[in-house]
Amino acid sequence: MAATKDRTYNDAEIAERLKELDGWYYEEGWIRRVYKTDGWPTTLMLVNAVGYLAEAAYHHPDLSVTWGRVIVKLQNHAAGGITDKDFELARKIEEVILWKPQGGALEGTPNKWVRAGEPK
């Protein structure tokens, strides 16, 4: 029995779904997000965190990495477009990468760490 292909979204559906993912945008067949960091060590931690989430999800993004910036690009290669897998992994990446303690025993770092970057 052949595996069923995941449903892909059209451009209008993608635009609607991206309203729920602040900072993510659609370009050249990928949903994308720019993250800025305070430098190379934080950039590497960001890349490793995204790598961990992607491997756990068994859905792997393309990454563009520079000293203080990471661009995450998601697309379901097997399905030939954007699917629920892309949106769900984007949501999980966003949740983890931009998390900061909000009181309690974890006080948070005084450094800037990862910040939401402008969409392009």
Q: Is residue 28 part of a domain?
A: yes
- Side-chain-facing half-sphere of 52: CA atoms under 13 Å: 9
The predicted model gives 3-28 an average pLDDT of 94
Q: Is residue 53 part of a domain?
A: yes
**Does the predicted TM-score (pTM) go above 0.85?**
yes
Q: Say yes or no to pLDDT of 31 above 60.
A: yes
Q: Is residue 109 part of a domain?
A: no
Sorted by sequence, the CB contacts under 8 Å of residue 76 that are 6+ apart come out as: 6, 8, 59, 82, 83, 85, 86
Give the domain CATH number at 90: 3.30.1360.20
* pLDDT at residue 3, rounded to an integer: 58
Q: Is residue 34 part of a domain?
A: yes
Q: Is residue 116 part of a domain?
A: no
Residue 111 has what DSSP assignment? S
Q: Which domain range does residue 95 map to? A: 11-99
pLDDT tens-digit readout, 40-86: 999 999 999 999 999 999 999 999 999 999 999 999 999 999 999 99
Q: Say yes or no to pLDDT of 112 above 80.
A: no
Q: Is residue 89 part of a domain?
A: yes
